[in-house]
Amino acid sequence: TSLEGVVWIIDPIDGTMNFSRGLSLSAISVALLKDGIPYIGVCYNPYLDEMLKDKKNMGAYLNNKQIKVSDKNLNEGLLLIGSSPYSKELHKKSIELLYKYSTIATDFRRVGAAVLDLCNIACGRAELYIELKLQPWDYSYYSNKLKNAKYSYNEEELRPYFELNNVIDGVFGLATKLY
């Protein structure tokens, strides 16, 4: 699929399994890309009545209040993890990374909806999110926010999974410091 010109990316239900099981952990996200560059993004969590909006060069907002990522170290923060359930190889690696980083973080969560995990990172509610394979509909809304976030990471073991582009660098490294 070409991302040239104007392209809309819509995920009507991120967290489909959660939704189908009656778990209140899903959201709707819409992004507008111009020549592959995220321009506008909107994400709505109907269960919490939270609307996140991001426009290129304009900042990100939650219910019209500007948001920022956390500046806490991971050892005083929260780890969010995806488990790559559709790939046995990545699922195993995810569990290994969960063990490694959960021994550093105060605690961890597995939500089951990448959009909500990224929302929580963007709002400063958690310090690190690890998901080894994301699809464009998972992260397109957050691209501007993540590209502009301050982050650092030193984890060479994660680099092979940065397969999409530098947006994913931000997804993995939103903790200001790991230790």
Helix (H, G, I), strand (E, B) or coil at 33: strand
Read off the pLDDT band of 76 (50, 70, 90). confident
| Of 46 and 87, the one with more pLDDT | 46
Read off the pLDDT band of 68 (50, 70, 90). confident
pLDDT at 167: 35
For residue 21, pLDDT beyond 90: yes
| Of 55 and 116, the one with more pLDDT | 116
For residue 27, pLDDT beyond 90: yes
pTM given for the model? 0.80
- Give the count of alpha carbons within 13 A of 44, CB side only: 8
Residue 28 tokens, joined: 């709707």
Q: What digits encode the pLDDT tens for the residues 137-173?
A: 776 665 555 544 433 334 454 444 443 333 333 344 4
Q: Contact, 100 vs 143, CB < 8 A?
A: no
d(CA 89, CA 91): 5
d(CA 87, CA 80): 19
pLDDT at 140: 65
